[in-house]
Chains A and B, each alone.
Chain A
């Protein structure tokens, strides 16, 4: 079964434990400026929204890479950057419509979410369940359940 990250922004509190976990997992430091997941704060709406790579099936970044440095991980289906091949041309950062591939000046390479090899650190760190790692075919299950629950409580039109 392929799994994918599922984000429910309504549950997010903006604690940034996910960003901390990501930077620690991938860089061995606590440094949110190196995180591959970002939580945006829409102050006046009172909303916090976590955002990261959705692992497109036909990944724009992968298609754009001239040296074939972004490849599908057979185990997870993640589009992973192979740092030893990446030449830091940044074409993928332009190709990605969502901005989730980013250049790291320090290494001269790009980075993006690779699902941590199947155990995403952000999902593990999130205290609220805003980020979960679920069956890729059923990311809509929670929403369906919620709406189904609402339908169920509607009074019938005719008695």
Chain B
């Protein structure tokens, strides 16, 4: 079934759970997941709300293809106003939780208010109840999942939860499901923690698929689309073999691997932390770091990495609980924990990555915040006494200890928990935070990949690679090759990627399919699953509508064109090495072109004609 046509509204203040019919008119205009949940959100929540106030809401949402045989059809998203950014947030996750939620007969869950004491939501199909979670409070994600599974005596329950960082107010806490998949960015886990909601446990035996619009057509369309993924070099070979880590050496060679808080654009130890290195035998134990690849629900790509840390590594000596196989490393985390800080120790990165999963905090923002702290230390603004240890660029020891402190919410970990924007502002150097709208950049330097700079600056959830992944075009030539070093044409490119990605995110499939799929591959799958007439034109307009809806929310929340900007370093300090040597990012040139392409005023406000055209 494309939609279950049913949402669950949970009032945490009153402790009530209520079923509601899904607004099917909105479903035709916003599809599902990111689009539809954001529609509910903007209709119900004041844009000026304090993200951590009970009046903020948090929505867990599936798409029409979630829980079907469509490849990667297992995604769900968490939509709220982000604790880190104060902007609209939508963090997407794979694993099995999303499909299970769909199987339980619900399309989405809207959480409102704040529980007076810690609770978790238990869902077994129609049987829904808030249960006491005082025994889970203070526990990690890993412990929470284990305790819930054993107390329900059902190993097949799927759990999404926050770790200690979400409880402690770390502003970039995630919601983690299935142990190592996360709705990672913008502090959606912090919002969950502020509501005293520890976890959601779902078991769905009802299933989906009873009423596809055209079941036979759907089976054929999904089969054809799977073949496209299998035949594509990136989704058929590169991602299964190396995961997203296939990119480390490529991006480094392009001179677009931000290094030491973006002081450099190439990392001398990139090879050591690359996907290739994960396949090499370690001298210590003769084993490879990588154990196997793994898929999320329904995924025929299987980019996921399962690795095992070297038992003799300093980070895990005498800690056997970290010796088993666990999720990671993927490219963004390897970059943020590694190159961004100048740390070239693969085992240390994996250990910290596991801590991020275990206690639920975003490795991208965390790594980038360490990078900022290391620069402050390098400049003598932060001292050993303040941090509690020496923290020069490249120190794996500092990375490991600071990660432990952040996970547990102790010492300098509390300051790191604010994220780099607030940290750098506190110590008088706000310009050293490498991000947009208080959210840190991911793993692509926009001096070497110009389009990404515009994508970061205009992303509705703060700096992010998943809103407009122009790397596909500028680096890999998908769907057409564009020159990464120029600004020409990037306004239209970014707009096209932003709009198309909004559709993919709203369907319930993974963004990584877009290495191989265009909208034309997704369209037949949606059109055979979902009732209504899903033409290419309708989908293209829908993507643009979602983007503008998010923009309107942010504008009303107080964001202006000034916030669509990059830190001065990227605009004034040229890349020192590599193909982009001598270049800065041309954001000031691209921004007005982009506003024009979007049909917005020079102040970044959608014009009346644009809103009319989109039905907003």
Q: In the complex, what residues of B have CB within 8 A of residue A28's CB?
A: 209-210
Assess whether A15 is in contact with B297, with CB atoms less than 8 Å apart. yes
Contacts of A32 in B (CB 8 A): 99, 103, 207
- B295→A15 contact, CB < 8 A: yes
Asked whether any CB of chain A lies closer than 8 Å to the CB of B292, the reply is: yes
How close is B497's CB to chain A, nearest CB, in angstroms? 27
Shortest distance from the beta carbon of A27 to any chain B beta carbon, whole Å: 8
| Cβ < 8 Å to B, chain A residues 34-80 | 34, 43-48
Residue A14 at the chain B interface, CB threshold 8 Å: yes
- The docked-state distance in angstroms from the alpha carbon of A37 to that of B180 is 25
User: Contacts A15-B300, A127-B230 hold; do A46 and B291 have CB atoms under 8 A apart?
Assistant: yes
Whether A46 contacts B69 by the Cβ 8 Å rule is no
Interface residue tally on A, bucketed by range: 20 to 34
In the complex the two chains form, what is the Cα distance from A20 to B298 in whole Å?
A: 8
Are A43 and B179 in contact (CB-based, < 8 A)? yes
- Asked if A33 contacts B324 (CB within 8 A), the reply is no
Would you call B316 an interface residue if the criterion is a C-beta within 8 Å of the partner chain's C-beta atoms? Answer: no
- Contact between B325 and A31, CB atoms less than 8 A apart: no
Task: State whether the Cβ of A103 lies closer than 8 Å to any Cβ in chain B.
Answer: no
- Give every chain B residue within 8 A of A102 (Cβ-Cβ): none
Residues B209 and A45 in contact, CB atoms below 8 Å apart: no
B304: nearest chain-A partner, CB-CB: A13
* Chain B interface residue count, Cβ-Cβ cutoff 8 angstroms: 39
A86: CB under 8 A from chain B?
Answer: no
B557 within 8 A of A: no
**8 A Cβ contacts from A107-145 to B:** 125, 127-128
- Chain B CB within 10 A, most for which of A16, A27, A34: A16
User: Is the C-beta of B205 less than 8 angstroms from some C-beta in chain A?
Assistant: yes
List residues of B (156-175) whose CB comes within 8 Å of A's CBs: 156
Distance between Cα atoms of A17 and B325 in the complex (Å): 23
With A30-B208, A31-B103 in contact, is A13–B324 under 8 Å at CB?
A: no
Contact A31 B208, CB 8 Å, known A21-B69, A127-B226 = yes
B79-105 residues with Cβ-Cβ distance < 8 A to A are: 96, 99, 103
Q: Are B209 and A24 in contact (CB under 8 A)?
A: yes
CB of B299 within 8 A of chain A?
Answer: yes
Is A31 touching B206 in the complex (CB atoms < 8 A)? yes
B294 x A13 contact (CB < 8 A): yes
Interface residues of B in 506-551 (CB under 8 A from A): none
Known: A15-B300, A29-B207, A45-B324. A125 touches B69 (CB 8 A): yes
Q: Which residues of A contact B308 (CB under 8 A)?
A: 46
B209 touches A33 (CB 8 A): no
Given A29-B207, A45-B325, verify A24-B298 contact (CB < 8 Å).
no
For B68, B230, B295, B326, the residue with the greatest tally of chain A CB atoms inside 10 Å of its CB is B295
Q: Name the A residues within 8 Å of B304 (CB-CB).
A: 13
Q: Which residues of B contact A27 (CB under 8 A)?
A: 207
B189 at the interface (CB under 8 A from A): no
A128→B292 contact, CB < 8 A: no
Q: Are the CB atoms of B207 and A15 closer together than 8 Å?
A: no
Contact A43 B324 (CB under 8 A): yes
| Structural contact, B298 and A15, CB atoms closer than 8 A | yes
In the complex, A100 has a CB within 8 A of chain B: no
CB pair A34 B226 closer than 8 Å: no
Interface residues of B in 227-261 (CB under 8 A from A): 230, 240
For the complex, give the distance between the alpha carbons of A29 and B218 in Å.
Answer: 13
- Chain A residues within 8 Å of B325, by CB: 43-46
Q: How far is the CA of A45 from the CA of B326 in the complex (A)?
A: 9
Most chain A Cβ neighbours within 10 Å, of B69, B206, B207, B230: B207
A23 proximal to B (CB < 8 A): yes
Complex: A46 Cα to B326 Cα, angstroms? 7
Minimum-distance CB pairs A-B, first 10: A31-B207, A46-B325, A44-B324, A30-B209, A46-B291, A13-B295, A15-B295, A127-B300, A13-B302, A46-B306
| New contact pairs (7) apart from A46-B306, A127-B226, CB-CB < 8 Å | A14-B294, A15-B299, A15-B302, A24-B209, A30-B1, A46-B292, A46-B325
